[in-house]
Amino acid sequence: MEINHSDTRQVSFHGEGSKLFGIYIVNLLLMLFTFGLYYPWAKAAVLRYIYQETEFEGSRFAFHGTGKEMFKGFIKAVGIFLVIYAILILAVWSQNNVILSLGMLTFYAAILLLIPVAIHGALKYRMSRTSWRGIHFGYRGELKEFVQEFVIGGLLTIATLGIYSFWFTVKLRKYIFGHLRFGNIGFAYNGDGTEYFKLHVKGYFLSLITLGVYFFWYVKDLFAFFIDNLEMNQEGNVLKFRSTATAGGYFKLIAGNLLIIIFTLGLAAPWATVRTINFIFSNIVIEGALDTDKIQQTEMDYRDATGEDISDMIDIGLI
Amino acid sequence: MQAFDILYYDGKTSVSHQASLVLERDHWLIQFDQEFEKQTVRWDITQVERDMSFTSLFIFRYGDFPRETLECKDENLLTELKRLYPEKAFFEKKFNALLRQNTTVLVGLTLGLIGILLVSYFYVLPWFSEKAAEQIPVKTEIALGETMFENMISHYQKNDSLTARVNDFVKEIDFKTNYPIKVTVVREDDMNAFALPGGNIIVFDKILGKMKSADELAALLAHEVSHVHYRHSLKNIFRSLSGYLIISLLFNDINGITAILADNSNMLLNLNYSRKLETEADEKAVEILKANGLNLNGLVQLFTLLGSEASKAATIKLLSTHPLTTERIAYAKKVSSQQNAPVKNENIEKKWRAIEAERIK
Ligand SMILES: [Zn+2]
């Protein structure tokens, strides 16, 4: 039995730019020769690599998704997008104002519906395919509930000319993390919409006043708002997440990545990616008592997740 | 029988067991201590699968979900697996084989890829976008050009009286095109003129002010109309768009920074394309001028005017929309010398004098 009572823990990343570069190059070649159809396999390879190099308490994470599984979602997504864009293009072509407005309406309604479906599918798929020490993550959100929340929030955001978006974002995070599982460990997000709004107002105006210098404090605050409000719960034992990112750290990250990308014309992008992942993980501390031996496998609906992913086309950037 | 040190996870809890692995002909034996008792797990060889791995860690999974997992760091395991189960493919994946090649192969692949990309960018893409541009119906092209024109013209100050005079001038010449030609003169301290898809031509008043003859203006207009006629602007737009699309697709994962970068590099690369189109437009312009009985010396005057202005400017304009080379002047001189000086067309001259009178104001 190993009960680790040490108070703080971190996730660490061991990936190397050169290895990621190799994967990118092979991916690019294969995508080129398959006219892009290789994309799902390329994506699976990158995810597998990144997960394999991510370590927590001495064990690596694993991504179990396969190109074949993702290919189905990819084809679905391409089909759906073709249909949606075909409607829009036909409406524009008709040069009839009634048809045009109807077409636009259908287009935006479809997008508004598709985003939550994509987020839900991607979460469900990605989480079920993520494991650590053989224990799988899981997302237990209900599609109907989530779409409902998303559409209501989206319409409110439009009606308030975007002001509601801050409360909306926080609400979505609460829903998503509230339904996230890692075995018998649950998650929660405790952010407050008003606080998030204030943070953005402050960040926006101070960035303007300081001619952008404040921007690095702004992104640091946003990151902290995301991380500090996260918690994990293992059978009543609460673990808190804490951000240690600083404005200076963000400056180094962003400036460095810019230089790397500009001077290599984008070729060294994998090194920038590695720097970013390193930065994120090294600035998250998990506090509280965790029994790393007592995590139980709970997510048994592994198979159900297949084919639920229309994700990706609207890339929501989950790592 | 050799035993390997491994870590074993039973798929039910996150407990990490220090275990030993023994390979048998048709099964694997995993042994570890749990609560002071020896435990043995048997893996049937047919259900063992290996994770596609990019690290030096070997990971094997077993059975149905929730799967048992085994991790091993010992390199000898691989040789042992190859020896014992030569018919099993689970320890080699094609992708991995590609990656495990030495650096020379990887560098070669990279260079090859860059080569393919360059070739497609400079040869395949222009051809493809040209074909795509040709598919656009004229009606759509005119509508598109009109939208672009509305957008553009709001950034300039229009000179209404000169615009009217120049359009009168245009009516006197047969430009040999079905596109409706509409010239707009704007106030701008720059020697330039450009053509939009569908027939709109924007002329800066500075270049108009420096012209000395009706033939010179006719040469400029004939050149711009040729751009319209051959759909050069449309082809250029298609090319930039597709180039932009490809570049942003390639560097998909790196957010907006590259997008900006891609956009600029794309503009730089377009220069090459433009030169070819300029030559095509020049040739068509000569045809138009000849057919209208206009003096080709106007073309020589035009290029000399643009050339003198370019050398006067202290900074070299990298992205000039009308790259001027000595070859172009030489070409104009050559075709001009082959022409017998035509009789001046009185109607055209009259319209030209109206422009001259207007621009003095
Ligand atoms: Zn030109």
Transcribe A15-57 into DSSP letters.
--HHHHHHHHHHHHHHHHHTTTTTHHHHHHHHHHHHHHTEEET
Domain boundaries, position B74: 3-91
In a domain, B283, yes or no: yes
Contact A49, A15 (CB under 8 A): yes
Is the Cβ–Cβ distance between A177 and A132 less than 8 Å? no
Q: Given a cut of 50, is residue B317 above it in pLDDT?
A: no
**Residue B114 lies inside a defined structural domain of this protein:** no
Identify the domain boundary among B65, B91, B117.
B91
B96 falls within a domain: no
The minimum CA-CA distance between B8 and chain A, rounded to whole Å, is 9
pTM reported for the whole predicted model: 0.64
Q: Give exposure, B66-86, as e/b (b: 16+ Cβ within 10 Å).
A: bbbbbbbeeeebeeebeeebe
pLDDT at res. A91:
82
At B232-242, the pLDDT tens digits run: 878 877 777 67
Cβ–Cβ below 8 Å for B14 and A292: yes
ipTM for this model: 0.76
Q: Do B84 and B224 reside in the same domain of the chain?
A: no
B269 and B349 both lie in a single domain: yes
> Is A265 close to B261, i.e. CB distance below 8 A?
yes
pLDDT for A142 beyond 50: yes
Q: Please calculate the CA angle A275-A278-A281 and round it to the nearest 5 degrees.
A: 150
Nearest in space to A185 (alpha carbons), one of A56, A284, A66, A63: A56
Q: Residue B108 domain-assigned?
A: no
Indicate the residue of A14, A134, A315 with minimum beta-carbon distance to B11.
A134
Q: Which residue in chain A has the smallest CA separation from B67?
A: A134
Interface test with A, best of B7, B14, B69 (most A CBs within 10 A): B14
Least confident of A156-160, B153-157, B170-174, B261-265: B261-265
Predicted local distance difference test score (pLDDT) of residue B14: 86
The verdict on residue B159 lying in a domain is yes
Q: Is the pLDDT of residue B361 over 70?
A: no
CATH number at residue B68: 2.30.29.30
The CA distance from B180 to the nearest CA of chain A, in Å, is 21
**What residue of A is the nearest CA neighbor of B140?**
A93
Position B51 pLDDT exceeds 70: yes
B37 and B159 fall within a common domain = no
Q: Give me the mean pLDDT over the A282-291 stretch.
A: 89
pLDDT in tens, A25-66: 888 777 777 777 888 888 888 898 999 999 998 889 999 888
| DSSP-based three-state secondary structure for A242 | strand
Question: Is residue B55 domain-shared with residue B138, that is, in the same domain?
Answer: no
Kindly give the distance from the C-alpha atom of residue B322 to the centroid of ligand 1, in angstroms, as a whole number. 5
> 3-state DSSP call for residue A210?
coil
Identify the pLDDT of residue A308: 44
CB contact under 8 A, A62 and B54: no
**% helix, strand, coil for chain B, step of 5:** 55, 15, 25
Do A61 and A136 touch, CB atoms closer than 8 A? Answer: no
Whether a cis peptide bond, with omega within 30° of 0, leads into B180 is: no
pLDDT reported for residue B320: 46
pLDDT digits (tens, 9 = 90+) for A162-184: 899 999 999 999 999 999 999 88
Judge whether residue B335 has pLDDT over 80. Answer: yes
Same domain, residue pair B145 and B59: no
| B155 assigned to some structural domain | yes
Interface test with B, best of A4, A21, A130, A135 (most B CBs within 10 A): A135
Same domain, B238 and B347: yes
Cα B51 to ligand 1 centroid, rounded to whole Å: 59
The protein residues having their C-beta less than 5 angstroms from ligand 1 (an ion) are B 278, 322
Average pLDDT, integer, range B42-61: 83
Residue B126 included in any domain:
no
Q: Confirm whether B227 is domain-assigned.
A: yes
Most confident range, picked from A45-54, B61-70, B191-200, B273-282:
A45-54
As a whole number of angstroms, the distance between CA B354 and CA B205 comes to: 15
Q: What percentage of chain B reaches a pLDDT higher than 70?
A: 81
Tokens of A164: 């509601």
pLDDT at position B315 is 39
What pLDDT score does B294 carry?
92
Q: Which tens digits make up the pLDDT trace of B77-117?
A: 888 888 888 777 655 554 555 555 566 776 777 778 778 87
Structure token pair of residue B241: 């768009």
Write down which residue in B69, B91, B113 finishes a domain: B91
Categorize the per-residue pLDDT at B271 as very low, low, confident or very high, splitting at 50, 70 and 90: very low
The pLDDT > 90 percentage for chain A reads: 38
Q: The tokens of B62 are what?
A: 């077993």
Whether residues B26 and B175 fall in one domain: no
Residues of B in contact with A258 (CB under 8 A): 257
The pLDDT of residue A164: 93
Res B262: pLDDT: 47
Closest CA to B283 of B324, B238, B225, B201: B225
- Tell me the two tokens of residue B174: 């047969």
Counting one residue from chain A and one from chain B, the pairs whose CB atoms sit within 8 A come to: 109
The whole-angstrom distance between A269's CA and the closest CA on chain B is: 7
> Taking 80 as the threshold, does the pLDDT of residue B243 lie above it?
no
B63 and B162 belong to one structural domain: no
Q: Do B58 and B194 fall into the same domain? A: no
pLDDT tens-place string over residues B153-183? 888 899 999 999 999 999 999 999 999 999 9
pLDDT band at A302 (very low <50, low <70, confident <90, very high): low
Residue A35 has φ and ψ, to the nearest 5°, of: 55, 40
> Quick one: B57 and B174 in the same domain?
no
Q: What is the pLDDT at residue A166? A: 92
Domain total of chain B = 2
Note whether B152 and B87 are same-domain residues.
no
Q: How many Å apart are CA A62 and CA B59, to the nearest integer?
A: 10
The answer, yes or no, to whether residue A188 has pLDDT greater than 80, is: yes
One domain, residues B80 and B193: no
Among B91, B117, B150, residue at a domain's last position = B91
Long-range contacts of B257-261, Cβ-Cβ distance < 8 Å, separation of 24 or more: B257/A257, B257/A258, B257/A261, B257/A262, B258/A261, B258/A266, B258/A269, B261/A261, B261/A262, B261/A265, B261/A266
pLDDT band for position B192 (cuts 50, 70, 90)? confident
User: Which residues of chain B are at the A interface, by a Cβ-Cβ cutoff of 8 Å?
Assistant: 7, 9-16, 51-55, 57, 59, 65-69, 95, 98-99, 106, 109-110, 112-113, 116, 250-254, 257-258, 261-262, 265
